[in-house]
Structure 1
Amino acid sequence: MRILHTSDWHLGRSFHGVGMLPAQRHFLDQLVQSVQEKSVDVVLIAGDVYDRALPGVDVVNLLSDTLARIRAAGARIIMTSGNHDSASRLGFGGAVLAHGGVHVRTRTADLAMPVELELDGALLAVYGIPYLEPRLCAEELGAEAPAHTAVMQAALERIRADLAARRNAGRAATVHSLVLAHTFASGGLTSDSERDLSIGGVGAIPLDLFDGLDYVALGHLHGRQQLSQSVRYSGSPLPYSFSEAGHRKGGYLVEFDTGGLAGVEEINWETGRRLAILKATMAELLDSPEYGWAEEAYCQITLTDNERPLRAMERLRERFPDTLVLAFEPASGPQRNTHTYSERIAKAQDDLDICCGFLEHVRSRAADDAERRLLAGALEQAAAAEVSA
């Protein structure tokens, strides 16, 4: 049996103000193609299906269409809710959808109710753990404390109890286990685009909570990574922050047979527009052929000029039209003035000095001659208007 492990689709997300729906459609086309070409039996989505609790109509329609295409390609679907999803909205109609091969696990009460997959005499029990907000579900789960580790431990205890009951019932010669969970497991590498799963702390759960399970399909961290032989993050299918510029995006193709986990391999998908993280002076960025490759990329640019260049974003976008983030980091280090702004203003000789001092304070660059003349003219006009009044 071939199972495609994915997570963190974040349908409806934007990238620094740029809508990503076209890129997400392209990724989903590739996913459906992989299902067809790799003869995938089951597609897993380990949380954060949507990017927000109230997705737009076009986003909901995209998910509906994609689920139908996956089913038409011959694969069943098992998905859970993440911390970005509204569990109740994503799970609406779940009991009806299950009859059509789409299994949704968004309720705490259902986490120990697996989807059963036949393996030529053996059985694969797939459990879906939705995102568990400790303060909301600790009491229901009987957890020792409203904390991520405690609620995940309580959830896994229920799953292990159900596994033991199935194995003792003897319905199948062997019962293997696969668990989906949307959480932050210790040892995982984070990206800038994930929302922290805790308030006031990291909230990571210990990896050994998953000991004894055949495969754990994790969601939440956006970098694809292996924490142990059986515990992995598939990562997000698209980069959602510049910190993911070096990621290779895709999922995992997980294979089970009667003996259990038989193999795991990466599946890669194209992400469309490249991400460029550039750091240089304005002159270098505008003139050097070294940066030609970034002209069609989404760019995060840090200027290292000692003085902040005029019209920096406007000039950069002439060569790099999709510059989305601009920062300044002078090569000589921050230009620090030993005097406070109030002290500097107190020493100003006239109104022109005050205006020029303010300009330097807010942009870290002194007024040039043309700017001083412009400010002087504005002050003269203001003075003349006051006299005439």
Structure 2
Amino acid sequence: MRVLHTSDWHVGRTFHGRDLLAEQEAVLGGLADLVDTERVDVVVVSGDLYDRAVPSAEAVDTCARVLHAIAAAGARIIITPGNHDSAPRLGAFAAFAKAGGLHLRTAIADLHEPVLIDDAHGPVAFYGIPYLEPELARHALGDTELRGHAAVLGEAMRRIKADLAVRGTRSVVLAHAFVIGGEASDSERTIAVGGVPHVPGSLFDGIDYAALGHLHGPQTLAEHLRYSGSPMAYSFSEANHRKSVWLVELDANGLVGVERRELPVPRALGRLRGQIQDLLTDPTLDVEVEKFLTVELTDQVRPLDAMRRLRERFPYALHLDWLPEGGKPRVRRYTETVKGRTDEEVACCFVEDTRNSPPNDSERALLREALAAVAGKERE
């Protein structure tokens, strides 16, 4: 059996305010081609199919088209919710979807009941563990003594292993968790609710393959224990990630091997640093024009209308910081800043601290007019 391990699609996510649905569909639609060319039997999504509990209609439509293409290419699909998804909404039509080869494993109480899929050697048991928020999960599992992520996931795996011992089949577990040894990036939402979020990898001992989700970088913690990562970069901290999925092969005895399949990059990420005039005129930066960019300006004086000017050359510039060479002026306490100063002096001081340059004569005149107008309203 050949299994394609994916996770953290986050359909509907934006990147510094920019809609990514077109890019997401382009990348995720390519999974159907992988199913066809690699003769994949099952595609798993280990949590965070959507980016939010109530996805937009456009996000749902995009996801539906991608899933339909994967199914049409010949694969069964198994999905579990992550910490971004709403398990009840995702699993609302699970019974109907099952008939079409889409298995939505969203109920904590049923996590020990596998999806059984046959190959030439018999059945493979796929266990889907929904994201387990400790406080909610301990009640759903019927054990209020459980505390923390490791405890609730440990109980989930105890139940799965008990069921597996009876069945005696090969096994794949989908889990959305922060396993010790994994490396985080800036785009994951913390799952540290009321305690330590990490869980030991030893919980997955005895499983043929554990398809992990939550961390956005592809990672190998053990041969049978891996994160596929997100299919696209969702923060500039992921600029060096090689986005990919894992192609997992099982034979009659269990795991045979795992291979990486890299995904296309719809738009690369880049970082620029320097003075704005240099960035706008340097011909060597032509290679950066089509990238999503984060820009750090080092001008001593904050440039006016900087983002608009940058986007005239770099239309996909998304994030801007101003960090003047040598550092910003010393930050003083508010009481120190205003003590003994007139309103006009405070306003001018604010402008100077904000852009590292005092206001010119016309700007001072404008500030006086504004202060006079405010004072006039206060007297009315």
TM-score, normalised by the number of residues in structure 1: 0.90
Alignment-derived partner of residue 158 in structure 1: 159
Is 1:358 the equivalent of 2:350? yes
Q: Count residues with an aligned counterpart.
A: 375
| Cα distance between partner residues in 2 of 1:380 and 1:85 | 51
CA drift of 1:304 comes to: 2.0
Letter in 2 for 1:333: G
| Cα distance between partner residues in 2 of 1:165 and 1:90 | 30
CA drift of 1:355 comes to: 3.4
| Cα distance between partner residues in 2 of 1:380 and 1:307 | 24
Stretch of structure 1 that moved more, 1-10 or 281-290: 281-290
| Cα distance between partner residues in 2 of 1:182 and 1:204 | 11
- CA change 1:372–1:221 in 2 (3 A) is same
Alignment-derived partner of residue 321 in structure 2: 327
Residue in structure 2 matching 1:177, options 161, 171, 178: 171
Alignment-derived partner of residue 209 in structure 2: 215
CA drift of 1:34 comes to: 0.9
| Cα distance between partner residues in 1 of 2:55 and 2:100 | 23
Alignment-derived partner of residue 121 in structure 2: 121
Letter in 2 for 1:366: S
- CA change 1:366–1:114 in 2 (3 A) is same
Is 1:310 the equivalent of 2:312? no
CA deviations on 1:85-128 (whole Å, 9 max, x unpaired) are 11111111212222221111000122111112224334321111
Alignment-derived partner of residue 196 in structure 1: 190
| Cα distance between partner residues in 1 of 2:179 and 2:237 | 20
Q: Which ranges of structure 2 fall in alignment gaps of 5 or more residues?
A: none
Residue in structure 1 matching 2:358, options 332, 347, 367: 367
- CA change 1:250–1:356 in 2 (3 A) is same
CA drift of 1:248 comes to: 1.2
| Cα distance between partner residues in 1 of 2:338 and 2:114 | 70
CA drift of 1:277 comes to: 1.7
Is 1:278 the equivalent of 2:272? yes
Q: Secondary structure at the match of 1:78?
A: strand
Larger-Rg structure:
1
Q: Secondary structure at the match of 2:318?
A: strand
TM-score, normalised by the number of residues in structure 2: 0.92
CA drift of 1:291 comes to: 2.2
Q: Which ranges of structure 1 fall in alignment gaps of 5 or more residues?
A: 168-174
Contact 1:335 1:364 in 2 (8 A): no
Contact 2:246 2:259 in 1 (8 A): yes
CA deviations on 1:236-270 (whole Å, 9 max, x unpaired) are 11111111111111211101111211111111111
Contact 1:281 1:303 in 2 (8 A): yes
State, as a whole percentage, how many aligned pairs show the same letter: 47
| Cα distance between partner residues in 2 of 1:372 and 1:41 | 72
| Cα distance between partner residues in 2 of 1:383 and 1:334 | 31
Q: Secondary structure at the match of 1:227?
A: strand
- CA change 1:106–1:342 in 2 (3 A) is same
Contact 2:217 2:227 in 1 (8 A): yes
| Cα distance between partner residues in 1 of 2:47 and 2:85 | 8
CA drift of 1:190 comes to: 0.7
Root-mean-square deviation (CA, aligned residues, Å) is 2.3
Letter in 2 for 1:205: V
